[in-house]
């Protein structure tokens, strides 16, 4: 029985709040407070991102279980290939507890990313630069997610932002 002090319309609206919050949180913001990431921006087997504000497309995006985590890799596209690793997420994936976000800001302890240029030294995610890897969904055998991180190679730095992937199993 409804309390006489709570109008019927307010009760109905209060029931919608959890649904609205669930939909709003389904995407999430990147670590820089940017627009919500949309994993569907990448087609099957693709990864996309902005590398120092330039569009990057990584073909042949694949994922594989590695220990208690996952590794996502691409082939070379637009001058770079990408590797992302998240630790301690394999149980969450297999149990359907997604999304899961692993920060890249703790000296690479929970997740890390590396951009490998066609020539020269690799750019590794760097502690203190923010960053995260979010695994959003496993649909069939395709793993989708988003990423962003600051990376360095010696004194050179890159910013990888608004990244998304739809990786096929390896």
**pLDDT, tens digit, 9 for 90 and up, residues 13-25:** 333 323 222 333 3
- 7 is a domain residue: no
Check residues 35 and 42 and name the one with the higher pLDDT. Answer: 42
- 22 is a domain residue: no
- 11 is a domain residue: no
Half-sphere exposure for 34 (CA within 13 Å, toward CB): 19
State the residue range of the domain holding 59: 29-169
Q: Which residues contact 32 (CB under 8 A, 6 or more apart)?
A: 130, 148, 161
Average pLDDT, the chain: 81
Joined together, the tokens standing for residue 26 give 């389904």
- 96 is a domain residue: yes
SS3 helix, strand, coil % of the chain, rounded to 5?
15, 45, 40
- 79 is a domain residue: yes
pTM of this prediction? 0.79
- 20 is a domain residue: no
Tokens 């990408």 belong to residue: 82
Number of domain units in the chain:
1
Joined together, the tokens standing for residue 17 give 């709040």
Joined together, the tokens standing for residue 51 give 């590398």
- 5 is a domain residue: no
Structure confidence by residue, pLDDT tens digits, 97-112: 999 999 987 654 689 9
Which residue intervals of 26-166 are DSSP H helices? 90-94
């Amino acid at each position: 029985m409804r309390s006489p002090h709570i109008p019927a319309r307010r009760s109905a609206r209060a029931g919608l709040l959890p649904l609205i919050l669930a939909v709003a949180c389904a995407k999430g913001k990147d670590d820089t407070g940017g627009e919500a990431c949309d994993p569907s921006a990448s087609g099957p087997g693709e990864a996309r991102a902005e590398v120092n504000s330039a569009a990057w497309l990584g073909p042949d995006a694949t994922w594989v279980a590695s220990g208690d985590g996952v590794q996502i890799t691409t082939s070379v596209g637009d001058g770079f290939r990408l590797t992302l690793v998240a630790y301690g997420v394999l149980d969450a994936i297999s149990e359907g507890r997604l999304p899961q976000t692993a920060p890249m800001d703790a000296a690479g302890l929970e997740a890390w990313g590396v951009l490998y240029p066609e020539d020269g030294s690799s750019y590794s995610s760097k502690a203190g630069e923010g960053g995260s890897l979010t695994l959003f969904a496993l649909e069939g055998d395709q793993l989708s997610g988003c990423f962003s991180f600051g990376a360095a190679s010696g004194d050179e730095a890159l910013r990888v932002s608004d990244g998304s992937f739809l990786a096929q199993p390896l």
